[in-house]
Structure formats: C-alpha cells, structure tokens
Structure 1
Amino acid sequence: MSASDSDISSPADFLHFDNGPPKNQGVGLSNPYLSQERRKMLDLVNRLHSTGVQVDIDLPQIAVIGSQSAGKSSLIESISGITLPRAAGTCTRCPTECRLSRSDERWKCIISLRRMKDGQMHSEQFGEVIMESGKSEVEDRIRRAQRAILNPSRSAKHYLTIDHEDDYSDAELSFSRDCVSLQISGPDVADLSFCDLPGLIASVGKGGNKNDIQLVESLATSYIQKPSCIILLTVACETDFQNQGAQELAKIHDPDGKRTIGVLTKPDRIPTGEEPNWIEFIKNEKEPLENNWYCVKQPGSNDLKQGMTWIDARQSEDHFFSVSSPWCDLDDVYKKYLRTSNLVERLSSILSDLILKRVPEIQEELEKSILGTREALTKLPKEPSRDPRNEISNMLHVFVTDLAKRIEGIPDEDGLLQCIRPAQEKFRRALRVTAPDFRPFEKRYEETKTLGKASFLSHEDGYEEIRPRDSRNNLVLDRDSTYTRRPVYIDEVMERAHQARTRELPGSYPFVVQQTFINEIIKQWNEPAQTLCKVVYLVLTEHIRILITTHFASFGLGNLEQRIRIILQEHVKKCMERTEERINWLIKLENRPFSLNTHYLTDYKDKFLSYYRGAREKDRNLDLMNAIEGYTPPTTRDRGISSSPTGIAKVLAGLVEIGIIGIKPEDLAKLIPPDGMEPALVIMADVRAYFQVAYKRFADNVPLAVDHDLVRGIEEGILQVLYTGLGINGPDGQRICKELAQESPNISGKREELMKKFERLNSASQQLLQIGL
C-alpha cells in the first residue's frame, strides 16, 4: 500500500519536492506552504510533552529504531541540523528526545536530563543554553549528558567540566531508560518531535553484559508498543534486510504496518546488482507499509569532519538521487519517497494528523486521570498539621468519644456489647450446669430408676428441658465445661446428715448439711466467672485495637498509634485486675448462704419438696401413684348416670361422705405412712431451692461487675491516662507532638507523587484549552 492510501493523511496534506526544497526554504513544517493548523498540533504535543504528562497518558510521538549502525544518528542529524556523538560501535546509550520547533528568534538549543525518580519524571537542565554561535558545542554537550545519565549516583554538574572519553567501560550503567532531551528552535528548524532510541544489538563485545541485548530491546518496546507511537524504522541498504532485527520488532507491535514508516539508509553502499531488491521497498511491493518506505542519503563521518554543512549535505543528497541509477529512473510517483526533506514533510504531516485525531481522546483521558488522581489524594491521610499538639488533642477527644459510644452500645451485629453477649449467655449456662442433681431414691437403684423432669422449671429458662441426657437419664454437661456433675442419692444425703449431727434432738439435723452442699456448688462458680472476665477482656482489647487503628493508624509514622496501644493495654489490664478482685469478693459473699427473697425461696422449696416426694412416693407406691396420675374427674354428664364410683373416685367420695371436703387426688399420697428419708428430702429441697435463688443472683451480679469495672471502667479517666502516658501536656509536649506527627515516607511520597501527577494533568489540560478546540 502506498502512502496515498493512508488513513492518517492524504497526499494533499503535504508538499514534496522531487529536487529538494526551494532555496532558503525551511524543511518540514517550517515550510510556510504547510497549514498553520498542523503547526499548532505539533506545537501542542511539544507543550504536552514539556508538562511530563506522557508518563500518565499515551501522547503521539515518533520513535526512531534500527539496528546498530543502521544510520539512525545520521538521519536524526540531518533532520535536526546538529551533530550527534559518534564512536565505534553503539554510540546511543539512552533515549534522546528531540523537540524541534520553528521560531522567528535566533537558533538555540536547550539540553536537559529527564530521569525517573520515585515514580516521577524529573527534568534538569544540563548546562547553559547553546546559541547558534556555539552550535559546534552540541555534540560534546550531548556526550556529557549521556555520561551523566549512565552514572546516576553522581552529580550531573560533575560531567559538565571533567575530561571525558567515549569509553563507557567505567559507567555505572551500560544503557538507561532515562533520556537526554533536546529543545531546538530557530527560523530554519522543522516543526517535529521524535525520540532516538539505542540501536538494537545482536551481541556484546568482550567484557560486555549479555543482559544489554534484552535491555535495549525492552527499551525500544516500551516506546513502540504504545498505540500513539509512530515507528520510524531505519534499515541500512548495505546489509541484508532479514538480518536487521529492528524490522522484526516493529512487526510484532505493528503487524499491519499502519504506524510504521520505513527509511532506507546508505543507498550508495548497495552491492552492485542488488538495487532492484531495494527498489521494491520504495514501490511498497516488498514488506508493504501503510505510509510507505522512504530512502535518504546522509553524509558520512569523514564528510562532516571535512566541513560539509547540512545545506551541502542536502545538495549532495539531491544530486545523488538525480543522477544515480536506478533512483533517477523511477517514475515521478515514487520520487516523492526519496530525499530527507520529503521524509520530514511526511513525518510532520502524519504526526500532526495523529495529534489532531487524538486530541479529543487525550482530553477525555486527562479528565478521567484528574478525577482518579483527586480521588486517590482524598483517600490519603491529611497532611501533618502545623500545630501537631492541637491536632493530637482533637484526635484523642474524638477517639474517647467514639469509644464511649461503643461502650454504651451501637446497633451493629459486630458491636462491642453484641460480641460480649454470647460470653454472658455461656456464663449463665455454666452456672446452671452446677445445679445439684439430687435423686430421691437409694444409690443401689441408680441403674434401674430414673428421675422425671421438673416441669415447673420450664417457664424460666427451659434448661432442664433442652439439655441432653444419657442412657440413664442423667443430665449431660456442656462439652467445654470442666465441671463433672455427679448424681447425689437420698441415702447419701441422709448419711451426710447423720454424720453432721452433734447435740441436736433426735430427728433434727444441723444447717451445716445444707451449707456443705451449697459451698460445694459455689466453688464451681469461680471458673466460669473468671472465664467470663477474661473473654470480655479479650473482646474489649480487640475492639479497642481496631478503634485505635481506625483513629491513629494513618497519623505520622505510626508511633502515636503504637504508644496509645501500649498505654491502653496497661489501662485495660488494670481494669481487668480490679474486676477479678470484684469477682472474688462476690464469690466470698456467696460462701455464706443468705437471701431476703423469702417468698421466692419458700415457693421453690415447696415445689422441689413436692417434686422429690412425688418421685419417691411414686417409686414406693407405684400402683397408688399411677392411679392418682391417671384419675380423671367425672363430668356433669357422668354424674347423671347411676353407677357406683370405683378406685380414686370411690375414696374421694368416701371422704366427702364423712365430711372431709376439698381433698385432691394428689393429697391421697399424704395418707401413706411417713418415709424415713423425709429429712433428706427436706435437705435436698432446701439446697435445690437456694440454688435457684443464688445462681440467678450471681448470674446477674458477675456480668454487672464485669460491665461496671471492666467495660465501663476503661472510660473512667481515660483521657487523663492518655495525656499523661503520652506526655503531651508536659514541658516537652510540643517536641513530643512534633515527633509523633512526622509522616510516613511512604505516605508523603505517595502524596507528593499524586500531587505532581495532578499538576502535570492540570497543566496538560490547560494546554489543551489554549488551542481553542
């Protein structure tokens, strides 16, 4: 495909000169025949590059690639009008950006070093501005600038004055991604921007680094892989095309050849008879490119050393293509692809058109990047205050307020109180497990007799109803409980009662029997109570840790967060110790059985006594008890039927007949002769009823103590604890606060990086607004 078929620009978009540009006529967009709009586009991209925004978005640019000694430097010299450093082998060791712009002012060149530091592109002018009278100094200045780039640990100014050689063996780097930037302007300068990249190398010499081959290739790739990069591929005619690796690299990243412009160099060195092979490129028949192949002839090193000027070089090039076969024999349609001036005009045209096409996209990308950068900045901690003492004081007050709010309770499933509640419920169950398991029958029947459920307990917590039982109907403890509950049989209770008697009258037993059972139960309460305290301590500590992180993690270097964590750990630990002492005190209170809740205690004693008696009597008089339980009072209809009552009904009727009224079926059990184990039943009922009173009291008091002394206890004087622990109110308070407020280098570096990016993006956005599009 020829250049005329390109969708980037049309033939009318540029002028070509078969015999070179007119006398005293500039090249490229310095040509007044070219549109001002195109010049404005190229000027825009130069200004955008000057902002450094190319590190953030993809800006249109030309990248010059080629194999080692492919004539890239000569081509660039011809376009820019300056002499580049020359040496044997590879002489370009880092990217060289050339920003060319036409100006009515005198010619000048500004050389800068552009280095990437901490993710930011930094530009530093290297030496004074070179004016036209000092044009010969450019080559030496570029060479020195390149040596400064290759030795980043040393000051750039060092290389402005020292003697130097072309030997790079002592350089810290053999190649670098940092670049030398040239800003050249003048009345006869083309409006064009491009980047010269180190030539691709296939091998390294003695003492060289094999990694350099890959480094140079990856450096070229980092440029030409971008969609907005125009690839200027230089190929030397003196070497076989297939042996020049640059064209393979260009194909990888531009397989359709839409972004690549080919340039054939050194046409005067084509071996005799091989000219037709290269003519096929100019005709775009071999390795076709959308923007065609061009051919240029540049002066050699010896020509320049003998004083050949660039005007002379252009005349020499024009003469070569005018008289040398087969170039002079080409049809006019192909002659526009010969000479440096035509190449420059085409490059200017393509680049300006690409810029014009990309402007709306660049504007959109800039807006998105600005929004994203602004959002990233807002997510960073605010910058350290100039009054760190006041800032830290405010932070402490906010923290204490937030802590108090969470201690009071927040409607969140992960709230402090919500996380404590399961431990409180587990504590209550652990206490409930210690209820004495009295059995109103002798131990010898433990394998055959079971105790039914106490239905009157179901309305309280249902614990007796829901807890699993073993094969002998014994209650099974919680898996994680350390308390081993053993059934206590009535004969064991009776034996302990007999052993406790001293001077009591026959049939009377001392209260120490009940107290012994009660004390055995109370001993089991210490472990679950202390466990509750420890669990709440751990939950509280974790919530405080998270809260400290939330409020102080992003402040300074983290020293404030660490110190507050240590201070509050000690504070909470003291509250914990105080709470443990309170729990021990509550347990001591329970060691002496006591209750003013007489009604509650008596009610439960009666219920348990009836429960135990009923179970025992049912066991002793099974038939009677079954009859009582199976009795159904006669209905009104039944009373109308003349039939004699039987069983329980007959007994109740007989009692009514002799004048005993109000007797219930269950009262008939009282007619059974007294049980010798009655005192044991009373003791069992006493102990079991007291447990109901004491365990509920203890189940409330311990969580209350933990809440008062531990959870709410940390609030007491916490602000003063923090101030004292940090020492910020003392004579060294200002210094301490200043040290604590020192910001993390990572955060400050990130903020600085984002701020610089924000400035680049804004500056680039302003440049776009100035073009009036």
Structure 2
Amino acid sequence: MLDLVNRLQTPGLVQIDIDLPQIAVIGSQSAGKSSLIESISGITLPRAAGTCTRCPTECRLSHSDTPWKCTVELRFITDKSGQTLGQPRTEAFGDPIFDKSEVEDRIRRAQRAILNPSKPTREFLDEGDEESAEISFSTNYISLQISGPEIADLSFVDLPGLIASVSSRGGNERDIVMVESLVTSYISKPSCVILLTVACETDFENQGAHHLTKKHDPEGKRTIGVLTKPDRIPRGDEESWLPLIRNEQETLENNWYCVKQPSSQDLKQGITWEQARARENDFFSLTPPWSELDPMYQKYLKTSNLVDRLSSILSDLISKRLPQIQIELENAIQKTQDALQQLPKPPSSDPIGEIASLLHNFVGDLHVLLEGVPRADGLLQTIRPAQARFRRDIRGTAPDFRPFELEITEGPQPTFPDPPFLSNEDGYEAIEDQDPQEKVPIFIDQVLDRALAARTRELPGHYPFVVQKSFIAEFTAKWASPAQVLCRVVHTTLLQHVKALISLHFSSFGQGGLEQRVTILVQDYIKQRAAATQALISKLILLEEGGLLTLNEHYLADYKDKFLSYYKGARETAQNPVLAAAIQAYRPNQFTFTYRSKNRLPDITQVLSGLASIGLSGIDAKDLVKLLAPDRMDPALNIMSDVRAYFQVAYKRIADNIPLAIDHELVRGVGHDMLPTLYTGLGINSPEGGRICRELAQESPSVAGKREELLKRLERLETASHELLRVGI
C-alpha cells in the first residue's frame, strides 16, 4: 500500500488533485528535526550555518534485500517565476548513489539547483561548493528514494524549520511568512500526519511549530509529538517534560515520544548510526527520570519505537483512505470530463470544412434569429417597443383642430378630447406621455383666415385645395424624424443580437481573429443595409410629402363625415347649449357634449308637434339645428374635416409602411447574401483559402491551454484509478 501511495504521489499523477496520506516533519529552527530524520533514514543531511533546509525534502524508505541505494530527483510544481505549473514535472538529479557518504553532498547540490531556478540543474552536479541562491525558499522539492536491507518501510517529507526571527540570519521578513505558508500548505490537509519536533532545551510555550499545529489540528488527532535533545534539559527540570510523555499535558491521540540523537561533534567523529542507536538505548535505560518511567511509557522512548509507530499510523491511514481515494478519483474524473464537454469541440483536421461548417451554422442561426424566436429577449420582441413608440409618435402629429374661435387667454389652452369613435379603432391608445405644450391648437377662425388668404379667382364660398395641402404638409413634415429614429434603434438592437451570435459561434476559434474578422464584415454589411433602409424611408416620407393620394375613398369619406359631425356637434353645443342639451336629452346621440343648467329644458316633443301642425312633418329632433342661421365657419369645418380624415388614412399607411420597410430592408435584409459576403470577405474561396482557414481554425490560446490542462489532469486521474484497480482496491 505504501508503494501504491508513493506511485500516486509521483508528479504526473494525482498528488496535486487528491489529498493523499503522508507524514510531514515540522519544527522550529534548531529543534533537532534534521537529526531525527537522519536517524530514521540512515543518511546525513547538509549542515551549515543558518537555515539548512530551504525546500521540502521527501524521503521514501523501503525495505529491500538488494544493496543499499539512493536515487535523487528534483520535483517542480512551480516555474522559475514562481507560477504554479499545470503539470508538475520530475527531473533526475545525477545517477543513483550506492555510498551513503555521498548523499549529503548530493542533497546540498540539489537544494542549490532548486534555489537557483534560472540556471540548468545539471550545472550544480559538477560545480564547486560556492553557496549562492536566487531565492531563499522554494515549494519545489527534493525526492529521495532509499532502499536497502536495514531500511524501514516509511515515507515522509521534511519541511523547512519555522523561523522566529531574521534579525540575526541575514534574511528578511518575507522568509518568515513564506516558510509558514509552505508548512501550512502541507499540514492543513486532512490526510497529513504531523510529526511535530519540540526541542527540550527551549521552553515549550515559545516554540511556534506547536502553535501552528494546534491551529490546524486542534484536537490532536493526527499529530505525533517528538521531544528532542533530552540530554540538554537543565538539571532538575526533567520532570517538567514527563507529563507530555504520559500524555497528561497537550494530549495527542498518538501520544508524545522522546528521542536522543547524536550531537554534531559525534557526527564529526564518524559515529555510525548503529552506535548512535546503542547510545540512545543506554541514555533512556540509565538516565533518570527516563529510566524510572513506568513500563507502559517506556514504549514512547527511543527512535526505533517512534519509527515502528509511524509505520503503523501511516499504514492504518492508507488503509482507511484508499477506498475514499478511489471515490474521490472517480468524482474528479467525472468533473474533469464535464469540464471538457463544456469546452468548444477541438479544431478539425479539415480546416476548410471546419470554417465552412462554422459559417453555415452561423448563417442558419442568424436566419432563425431574424425570423423570430419565441423568447422574451428575442430580436423581434426587443424591437417591438420601439415600433410601438414610433406609432405613438406619428399619431401624436395629428393636427389639433378646435371648432371654436381663438380666445386670447394667459396660460395653456384647455385640451380638446379626441372623438369617441377613434377609441373603437383597433390599436388606439391614449397618448399619455406627450407634453401638451408640443401640440399647438389650431382654432377654426385661424383655419378660415388661412382659407381667405389663399383665395385667388375662386367664386364666393369656394376655397382652393392648397389650404388642405398646407395643413397636410405640416404634419407629414414631422414624420421623417421618428422614422429615422426607429431605423437607428433597430440597427443598434440588431447589431447587439448579431454580435452575441457571432461570439457564440466564433469566440473559441482563430485565437480571437476569426471572431474579430467576422464581426467587422458583418458590421459593414449591416451598415450597408441600414444605409439602404434609410434611403427607402426617405423615399416613403417623400411620397407622403410630394402628393396627396389615396384610393381608399370610402374610408376617407367615412372619416370626413364623422369628423364633420363631431366638429359641428361640438360647435353647436358651445353656441346653443340649451337646444343641444334638449336634443341630447330627447334622443342622445353618439357624442357626449352635454349642457348642465338649473333651468328647465325645452320640451322637444312639443316643438316637433308644433312643426307638424304647420305641415313640417317627418322632422327628427336632430334636424332642429338646421333651423338655426347658417354658420359662417362652415367652410373652415369642411377644411378641418378633410385634413383630419386624410391624416387618419396617411397615418395608418405610414405607421405600417415604415416598420415594414425596416423589417424588409434591414432586419430580413441582413440575411440576404450574408454567406457569400463572409466567404468573399474572409477569402475562403481565394487561392490562399487553405492557408487562411488553417489560421482561422486554430483555438484561442486560453481554450487550448485549458483543454491541454484538463486532458493531462484526466490522464493522471485515470492512471491513478487504474493503479488502484490493479491492486484490487
């Protein structure tokens, strides 16, 4: 199982994707951490002034019947600028070592290679002993694979010692933060067993490594405490450390241990590790109070007991985690596959066919967009409010005729209601948002004055048609502006929808170039269609301004009669309110002009009976107004009715024709010849078409990089899953 986890931790597999079981050795500077690791691994680590361990060192120990061997590798998870690599890489650092005395120098050189990322690593295999470093610490690490007859099956990683101060070390404050961050990245993982080293020569409360461990493992479930340097405890203070061994103080689930390693002087004198173990046994057997501990606590003393316990803990953790790892791997594989599915499909080996397919699919979706989609955010739905506004703006240009003489009064003139018969028309809406100041009332005496001024050789009572034309020209002249506004709004809205469609189809190809070129071509084409549409709108407006024509004679005559009756009724109500009220009370007509008076209304029945008695039978109540004297404003009433009736005919015509022209020439027009335009503009059918398509079919660097990263991650996850299945997990 340990071999399996070691294979999974190999860069290229899943050590960056899955939380794998491992032991991390941490401690403050000079806590005896290096000596402990030397005692466990049987090798000598570099020792120099200042900080010795400046990058993590992974030790993979495995028992073997073959001669002792050590392989050194450099494992990079960041590049020379410190940026995390998408795919970690491994580099062998020299040939395998068969002599233990050569390991220390190889590790020192390997560390220098890691701390100088801008230089080739092979240079450090043969260079002298000059100490130089471009960076103080690194997350890249050294991996040692050690095997031999006397080697225990165990794997752990040695982390740089936590720095309390840089004032006397020649470093800087960033080193403190960087080392703590590096240690945290390991011990914060739930599957990391923390091997905490605490030097007995320093007060327990002053050792930062313990505080950091408590932060990430507050219940002490995955921490193993190791007391080092017990021979340096001041005489008489030994008893203060025994509560830890008894697990009575700072309780840990896996207890505290105590070990004694050879001093630097012993190592310089060439002490062997067998001799060091023997001296350690003698120390704990003969030195009180360690020798006086109960037998049940003796098992927490000596390096050999610690190694046995570490092997047992790591074995148990791996046994528990492997089934969970398999589940996590399958979940990670599924998420990675889903992420790949969300990416655009990779470029085809047939770039011409690929680009042609892209263009055809785009044009097909463009036609669907232009024809209309059943969504609230569709193109036609987005245009509709602008069309409704255009219709209201055109209807708002209707001349505001008043069948009354102009009264010079201060302030705005009172409004004159629209005829009730207009409310029965389909699509009629009150123009509530129009400023009353925008419409200038035209009073009946003003109409008559214009008619009188226009007379030339006409007989009395006759007025030239130029009077009606002048009023009609005034409102048709106001139609060009709202028509062009509608065209610009539709142009802008159409461009937004088409750009979104272009991005959807082309953003992942041509390294952004294809999307950009298609956007430019489509923008130019839509601009041409918009110019043609504006020209057509100008012609339609010119038709309305240039001459008055309608073949809808019945429609025009019907409206004239209605407006003439409406204007006359309003005028008669104002001039003869008593008679109008009496007629309305006798037989209410369709108009709502009422006269309110405290006086009693005349009896229309008696009036009609009186007229019948003198031979004027068959007269209706509404005919009584004909008995009144002729109104000198009758010619003006006819002119007003003519103009207002023609407005209804022309307004409905232009309210349909302008949107129809925009839809035909601009909206639907964009779909005409779009495919040939793109083929020609992109040069696909040119002699250079093959080369152009190859360039355009390339993925953008971001998508290509993401695809490559996901594919590599999927490969290592599937490889790891196969490893687990192969061993029957």
Q: TM-score, normalised by structure 2?
A: 0.91
Cα contact 2:354–2:697 (8 A) shared by 1: no
State the Cα distance separating 1:413 from its structure 2 match. Answer: 1.0
Closer/same/farther in 2, CA of residues 348 and 206 from structure 1, 3 Å limit: closer
Deviations 1:139-192 (A, max 9, x none): 222111111211222222222222233x3xx41210112211112223322111
After superposing the two structures, state which structure 1 stretch, 416-425 or 212-221, moved more.
Answer: 212-221
1:747 match: 703
2:578 match: 623
Closer/same/farther in 2, CA of residues 662 and 406 from structure 1, 3 Å limit: farther
1:202 match: 164
1:371 match: 334
Q: Pick from 60, 68, 75: which aligns with 1:114?
A: 75
2:592 match: none
After superposing the two structures, state which structure 1 stretch, 506-515 or 370-379, moved more.
Answer: 370-379
Give, in whole Å, the separation in 1 of the partners of 2:663 and 2:324: 62
Deviations 1:292-351 (A, max 9, x none): 222222233443344333233323333433444443443332222222211111100011
After superposing the two structures, state which structure 1 stretch, 276-285 or 556-565, moved more.
Answer: 276-285
SS in 2 for 1:444: coil
Give, in whole Å, the separation in 2 of the partners of 1:248 and 1:452: 85
Instruction: Please list, as runs of the form range in 1=range in 2, the aligned pairs for 1:234-313 lying within 5 A after superposition.
Output: 234-313=197-276
After superposing the two structures, state which structure 1 stretch, 569-578 or 353-362, moved more.
Answer: 353-362
Closer/same/farther in 2, CA of residues 730 and 73 from structure 1, 3 Å limit: same
1:350 match: 313
Give, in whole Å, the separation in 2 of the partners of 1:375 and 1:686: 71
Deviations 1:365-415 (A, max 9, x none): 222222222222222223233333322221111111111111111111111
Deviations 1:715-763 (A, max 9, x none): 1111111122222322222333333334333322322222222223222
After superposing the two structures, state which structure 1 stretch, 671-680 or 301-310, moved more.
Answer: 301-310
Give, in whole Å, the separation in 2 of the partners of 1:494 and 1:71: 115
1:473 match: none
2:123 match: 158
2:593 match: none
Give, in whole Å, the separation in 1 of the partners of 2:250 and 2:587: 111
2:108 match: 143
1:710 match: 666
> Which residue identity lines up with residue 497 of structure 1 in the other structure?
A
SS in 2 for 1:443: coil
Percent identity between the aligned chains? Answer: 62
Cα contact 1:96–1:195 (8 A) shared by 2: yes
Deviations 1:120-144 (A, max 9, x none): 3513223344142x43322222111
Cα contact 1:198–1:216 (8 A) shared by 2: yes
Q: Pick from 738, 747, 750: which aligns with 2:694?
A: 738
2:466 match: 512
1:670 match: 626
Q: Pick from 14, 18, 21: which aligns with 1:53?
A: 14
State the Cα distance separating 1:455 from its structure 2 match. Answer: 1.8
Cα contact 1:533–1:579 (8 A) shared by 2: yes
> Which residue identity lines up with residue 590 of structure 1 in the other structure?
E
Deviations 1:493-538 (A, max 9, x none): 1111111111222221111111111111110111111111111111
Give 5+ residue unaligned stretches, structure 1.
Answer: 1-40, 469-476, 634-645
Give, in whole Å, the separation in 2 of the partners of 1:680 and 1:129: 114
Give, in whole Å, the separation in 1 of the partners of 2:417 and 2:97: 112
SS in 2 for 1:458: helix
Give 5+ residue unaligned stretches, structure 2.
Answer: 79-83, 589-601
2:375 match: 412
Give, in whole Å, the separation in 2 of the partners of 1:451 and 1:280: 102
State the Cα distance separating 1:451 from its structure 2 match. Answer: 4.7
Matched, 1:43 2:9: no
Closer/same/farther in 2, CA of residues 121 and 622 from structure 1, 3 Å limit: closer
After superposing the two structures, state which structure 1 stretch, 189-198 or 245-254, moved more.
Answer: 245-254
Closer/same/farther in 2, CA of residues 121 and 319 from structure 1, 3 Å limit: farther
Give, in whole Å, the separation in 1 of the partners of 2:414 and 2:176: 93
Closer/same/farther in 2, CA of residues 434 and 729 from structure 1, 3 Å limit: same
SS in 1 for 2:137: coil
Deviations 1:662-717 (A, max 9, x none): 54322222232322221111111111111111111111111111111111111111
Give, in whole Å, the separation in 1 of the partners of 2:212 and 2:50: 21
Deviations 1:391-440 (A, max 9, x none): 22211111111111111111111111111111111111111111111111
Cα contact 1:112–1:123 (8 A) shared by 2: no
Q: Pick from 355, 360, 381: which aligns with 2:323?
A: 360
Cα contact 2:46–2:104 (8 A) shared by 1: yes
Q: Pick from 165, 186, 204: which aligns with 2:148?
A: 186
State the Cα distance separating 1:603 from its structure 2 match. Answer: 0.9
1:123 match: 89
Q: Pick from 560, 574, 581: which aligns with 2:535?
A: 581
Instruction: Please list, as runs of the form range in 1=range in 2, the aligned pairs for 1:458-607 lying within 5 A after superposition.
Output: 458-461=423-426, 463=428, 466-467=430-431, 478-479=434-435, 484-591=438-545, 592-607=547-562
Give, in whole Å, the separation in 2 of the partners of 1:486 and 1:250: 85
Closer/same/farther in 2, CA of residues 307 and 462 from structure 1, 3 Å limit: closer
Q: TM-score, normalised by structure 1?
A: 0.86
Cα contact 2:87–2:709 (8 A) shared by 1: no
Cα contact 1:68–1:89 (8 A) shared by 2: no
SS in 2 for 1:691: helix
Give, in whole Å, the separation in 2 of the partners of 1:301 and 1:703: 94
State the Cα distance separating 1:656 from its structure 2 match. Answer: 5.5
After superposing the two structures, state which structure 1 stretch, 316-325 or 559-568, moved more.
Answer: 316-325
Cα contact 2:42–2:273 (8 A) shared by 1: yes
Give, in whole Å, the separation in 1 of the partners of 2:344 and 2:165: 50
1:93 match: 54
Give, in whole Å, the separation in 1 of the partners of 2:407 and 2:202: 112
2:595 match: none
Cα contact 1:72–1:234 (8 A) shared by 2: yes
2:605 match: 649
1:471 match: none
Give, in whole Å, the separation in 1 of the partners of 2:496 and 2:727: 58
Deviations 1:230-289 (A, max 9, x none): 111122233333333222222222233222212222333333333333344333344333
Give, in whole Å, the separation in 1 of the partners of 2:543 and 2:4: 88
Give, in whole Å, the separation in 2 of the partners of 1:238 and 1:517: 109
> Which residue identity lines up with residue 201 of structure 1 in the other structure?
I
Give, in whole Å, the separation in 2 of the partners of 1:379 and 1:427: 43
SS in 1 for 2:304: helix
After superposing the two structures, state which structure 1 stretch, 524-533 or 53-62, moved more.
Answer: 53-62
Cα contact 2:27–2:209 (8 A) shared by 1: yes
1:384 match: 347
Give, in whole Å, the separation in 2 of the partners of 1:123 and 1:452: 84
Give, in whole Å, the separation in 1 of the partners of 2:417 and 2:239: 113
2:598 match: none
SS in 2 for 1:136: helix
Give, in whole Å, the separation in 2 of the partners of 1:121 and 1:99: 22
> Which residue identity lines up with residue 615 of structure 1 in the other structure?
A
SS in 1 for 2:165: coil
> Which residue identity lines up with residue 637 of structure 2 in the other structure?
L
